[in-house]
Amino acid sequence: MKNFIEYLDLPPLPTHLVEVADPLSYPCSNTRTAYCKRNGEIIQDADYRRFSVGSELAQWIGNNISSVYDNAGICFHGGLALQTACPHSDRKRKVGLLYVIDPGGPEVDTVFWQEVDQPLHRETGALPSSYQDLTEVGRYRLGAGDWALIDTTVIHSVENIQGLRKTLHVDWMDPALAPYDKILVPAERIELSQSR
């Protein structure tokens, strides 16, 4: 993938599927705990829960995106004092498709990093211990309704989460199976999405 995030040309999720995206509506499939040091302080990972999609949403994904993927889930990040999803490479995928239901605030950024003395693309499950060892290499501000294909082998964090962040994720461990054919050319990108 040339960029860390590619915006995709996919239809919005039907409202009734988004409306059921409530943490209490799904059985919890996994949680994650991580932390990282920043400016001498320990940054605790934002509360993270991921829930399997229901059959109707799975069918919509099959009809509109692909029926070939490893997992699909609805993710929630947040917590009153917890604003950061700490830098990591993903554990169970190399490419992730993300649909933003609620970004969790007006200034939530997905930030990509390279760790000192490490390659840009990492093995799954890498967890740098300090921001001091990281150099920012990309920053994206995704808005509600954006579809984004993410190279999750590059260390990334989510910064400035101010409320409950709700996203749909579809996962591929084999990048060749991800829907690259649906990438928007830059001129077609919606200005709501920013990168620098």
- First CA to last CA distance, the chain: 17
CB 50 within 8 A of CB 130: no
CB of 14 to Fe ion, least distance (A): 25
Pick from 46, 81, 80: nearest CA to 167: 46
Going residue by residue from 31 to 70, which x/- string records binding to Fe ion, judged by CB under 5 A?
----------------------------------------
Q: Which is nearer to Fe ion, 126 or 185 (CB)?
A: 126
Residue (61 or 169) nearer to Fe ion, CB: 169
Smallest gap from residue 88 Cβ to Fe ion (A): 6
DSSP β-bridge partners for residue 49: 31, 76
90 secondary structure, DSSP code? -
39 membership: H or E segment, kind and range:
none
Residues 74-133 that bind Fe ion (CB under 5 A): 90
Q: How many residues bind Fe ion (CB under 5 A)?
A: 1
Residue 31: both structure tokens together: 């949680």
Compute the least distance from the CB of residue 156 to Fe ion, in Å: 6
Q: Is 152 or 193 the residue whose CB approaches Fe ion more closely?
A: 152
Closer by beta carbon to Fe ion, 90 or else 171: 90
Residue nearest to Fe ion (CB): 90
Q: How far is CA 177 from CA 68, 93, 181, in A?
A: 7, 12, 10
Interface residues with Fe ion (CB under 5 A)?
90
